[in-house]
């Protein structure tokens, strides 16, 4: 049953989009980055902050094997703890200015009351990068990145509001996928119940065959003993066939008589069908 459950879950994941749409801010940020950059293995990432959201982002990005990941935090110690877990480099917030130009993707989420990354800092980084594009994703409230940064050429700035819009869209897609998933689960449930019923039939067939074999073995043994003791072979074989027939049809005969005497035509017809009487 557990195997079947996992099989159904895999089918839901494979045949629907229920798991493909981001419905958390951290996952949405990573999904956005993956949509913009074709190969994450060639991307350098700077994460600003070391809280729960950035931790989730870091783990997602590590799974997609980004080229290099740097984590900047107010305290190097906290950044280092997370960096060790995701094979990243830890720096402090003041070091961002001199390291920003190396980052293709910058995702920020701190509790700072004032912006950490300003327009001037980004302008210097763009110059050092020879205007290669930079993706900024600011998921902090209040903002970690000055809004004016988004007006610069070759800079793409997304805020938490943009991500919420993506999440809302994805939620509607996931609801549609949930309907598909429900249909799959219903179908698989019916298939499973049918299989369970068939297993019950298999067990009954096995028991019936075992009973018939036991009767046959018992009568054959008695017949062989009778022949060894001098009984006529033809008579012994005829006696065997008669007794075998009587023993095998005894239970079905009783069931037919019971159904007929009680007037249960449905049961009577079912028995006739199962015994193949209407095919004779």
pLDDT at 184: 64
Annotated binding-site residue? 49 = yes
Helix residue spans in the chain (DSSP H): 2-15, 25-36, 52-63, 76-86, 96-99, 119-128, 160-228, 233-261, 265-275
pLDDT at 175: 63
Neighbours of 156 (CB within 10 A): 15
Residues 210-214: what's their mean pLDDT?
Answer: 87
What residues does 92 pair with on adjacent strands?
73
How many angstroms separate the CA atoms of 57 and 65, rounded?
A: 12
Annotated binding-site residue? 52 = yes
Annotated binding-site residue? 118 = no
Residues 62-79: what's their mean pLDDT?
Answer: 94
pTM of the full structure: 0.57
Task: Show Cβ contacts of residue 144 under 8 Å, excluding neighbours closer than 6 positions.
Answer: 48, 49, 108, 109, 110, 112, 115, 116, 117, 138
Statement: residue 122 has pLDDT above 90: yes
Answer for the pair 246, 216: CB distance below 8 angstroms, yes or no: no
Annotated binding-site residue? 53 = yes
Annotated binding-site residue? 226 = no
Q: What is the mean pLDDT of the chain?
A: 82
The predicted-structure confidence for 137-184, as pLDDT tens digits, reads as follows 999 999 999 999 999 999 999 998 888 777 776 666 666 656 666 666
Nearest to 164 by CA among 57, 20, 46, 26: 26
Pairing of strands 134-138, 44-48: unpaired
**Is 2-172 assigned to CATH 3.40.50.720?**
yes
Bigger pLDDT: 224 or 183?
A: 224
The predicted-structure confidence for 5-40, as pLDDT tens digits, reads as follows 445 455 545 554 444 444 477 888 888 888 888 788
Q: Domain ranges for the chain, please list them.
A: 2-172
Annotated binding-site residue? 51 = yes
């Amino acid at each position: 049953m557990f195997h079947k459950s996992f099989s159904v879950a895999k089918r839901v994941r494979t045949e629907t989009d229920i798991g493909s749409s981001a419905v958390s801010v951290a996952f949405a940020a990573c999904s956005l980055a993956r949509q913009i950059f074709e190969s994450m293995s060639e991307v350098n990432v700077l994460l600003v902050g070391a809280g729960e959201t950035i931790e989730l982002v870091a783990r997602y990005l590590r799974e997609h094997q980004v080229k290099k990941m740097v984590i900047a935090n107010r305290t190097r110690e906290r950044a280092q703890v997370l960096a060790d877990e995701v094979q990243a480099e830890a720096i402090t917030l003041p070091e961002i200015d001199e390291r920003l130009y190396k980052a293709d993707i910058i995702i920020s989420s701190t509790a700072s009351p004032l912006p950490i990354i300003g327009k001037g800092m980004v302008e210097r980084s763009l110059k050092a990068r020879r205007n290669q594009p930079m993706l900024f994703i600011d998921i902090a409230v209040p903002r970690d990145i000055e809004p004016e940064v988004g007006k610069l050429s070759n800079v793409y700035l997304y805020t938490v509001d943009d991500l919420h819009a993506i999440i809302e869209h994805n939620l509607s897609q996931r609801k549609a996928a949930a309907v598909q998933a429900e249909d799959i689960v219903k179908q698989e449930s019916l298939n499973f119940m049918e299989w369970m019923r068939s297993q019950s039939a298999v067990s009954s067939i096995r028991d019936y065959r075992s009973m018939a074999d036991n009767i046959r073995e018992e009568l054959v043994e008695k017949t062989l003993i009778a022949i060894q003791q001098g009984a006529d072979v033809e008579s012994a074989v005829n006696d065997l066939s008669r007794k075998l027939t009587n023993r095998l049809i005894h239970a079905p005969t009783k069931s037919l008589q019971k159904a007929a005497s009680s007037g249960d035509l449905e049961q009577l017809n079912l028995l006739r069908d199962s015994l193949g009487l209407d095919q004779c």
